[in-house]
Amino acid sequence: MTPKFRLAAITDEYTADLERALEPMLETGMTGAELRVLWGKNIMDLNQEELTRARDILQAKGCEVMSIASPLLKCVLPNTPPVNESIQHDVFASKHTFEDQPRLTEHAFKVAKFFGARIIRVFSFWRSVRPEACFDGVVKAMSGIAEQAAREDLIIGLENEHACNVATASEAAKVLGAVQHPNLKLVWDPANALCAGEEPFPFGYNLLPKDRIVHVHAKDCHIENHKPVWGPLGTRAIDWKGQIAALVADGYQGWISLETHWPGPSNDKFRASVICGWNLRGLASL
């Protein structure tokens, strides 16, 4: 059962204890780590001693950091219609304002280089009640941050996030079309598109420029009363078999990274991630 792609996980989906998280990841055959929250602190808020500790642990385990799962641009875009407060806002231990973004961007570049990661994940500001009114602001922000990343030989991975202005494949394709910069690419998350009301596969995926997909997040849910109900990967509404087959056919060369979300049996998130990790390996090996 050999996966067709390199597999990884956002480590805190198992636990914020990095050493404990890596054990089941490595057992599952994951060779990559995506860093978001370590020891209860967002990756952007770790001090140098903590960053060095994390790097030493990862290197000792032979685990590559391919992406910094930063909270960049998870904030309100000024002078736009109000934020849609009906959508849950996950900040993962790091809440910042629009004014904080230049400082955070520079720090994200330093953190990425410290770990040898090529991708910095970003968002598109908290979703407005009229996201189309935020399009120009999102395009301006993406253009600017991509230019900065190019100078550092890094890739900006815009994630389609249902709580942000770029939530669906359709919205992502429009922004990517408007910003034809080689250092701006997409972190494709099919489940986030589903949460935003779009069929992610095949409809949404077919809208995307395949050469701009740099990373893929894997989680699964179905929708009840307009809200996601998370479950074991490969058992809910996302056609993961079809999605992975399409990635193979389209020559995708990046990672697939587990982002469990499912609370798990008896609310045991660690066990949920272990289950979903093995499910991902199976799906990626078909």
Q: pLDDT, tens digit, for every residue of 237-259? A: 999 999 999 999 999 999 999 99
Range from 37-46, 93-102, 162-171 carrying the lowest mean pLDDT: 93-102
User: Of 30, 101, 227, which Cα lies nearest the Cα of 10?
Assistant: 30
| Mean pLDDT of the 123-146 span | 98
What residues have CB less than 8 Å from 24, skipping those under 6 apart?
14, 270, 273, 274, 277
User: Taking 80 as the threshold, does the pLDDT of residue 203 lie above it?
Assistant: yes
Domain presence at residue 189: yes
Cis amide linkage into residue 202, ω under 30° from 0: yes
Helices (H) and strands (E) in the chain, counts: 9, 12
Chain segment 102-116, per-residue pLDDT in tens: 999 999 999 999 999
Q: What is the reported pLDDT for 1?
A: 77
Residue 183 lies in a domain: yes
Pair 63, 26: CB distance under 8 Å:
yes
Q: Average of pLDDT values for 85-95?
A: 80
Whether pLDDT at 197 is above 80 = yes
Residue 245 forms part of a structural domain: yes
- Binning pLDDT at 50, 70 and 90, where does residue 96 land? confident
Residue 149 belongs to a domain: yes
Residue 259 lies in a domain: yes
- Count of domains forming the chain: 1
Whether the Cβ atoms of residue 120 and residue 109 lie closer than 8 Å to each other = yes
| Residues 164-190: tens digit of each pLDDT | 999 999 999 999 999 999 999 999 999
Q: Is residue 1 part of a domain?
A: no
User: Domain range holding 71?
Assistant: 6-284
Mean pLDDT of the chain: 97
pLDDT level of residue 89 (50, 70, 90 thresholds) = confident
Query: Which of 79-93, 118-132, 195-209 shows the lowest mean pLDDT across its residues?
Result: 79-93
pLDDT at 257: 98
Mean pLDDT across 87-105: 86
**pLDDT-based confidence at residue 29 (cuts at 50, 70, 90):** very high
Percent of the chain residues topping a pLDDT of 70: 99
CATH code at position 217: 3.20.20.150
Per residue in 15-25, pLDDT tens? 999 999 999 99
Residue 54 lies in a domain: yes
The whole-number pLDDT of residue 90 equals: 81
pLDDT, tens only, 52-80: 999 999 999 999 999 999 999 999 999 99
Predicted confidence (pLDDT) at residue 91 exceeds the cutoff of 70: no
Candidates 121, 129, 149; CA nearest to 77 is: 129
For residues 82-114, one letter each, b for 16 or more C-beta atoms within 10 angstroms of the residue's C-beta and e for the rest, the string is ebeeebeeeebbbebeeebbeebbebbbebbee
Residue 92 has pLDDT above 80, yes or no: no
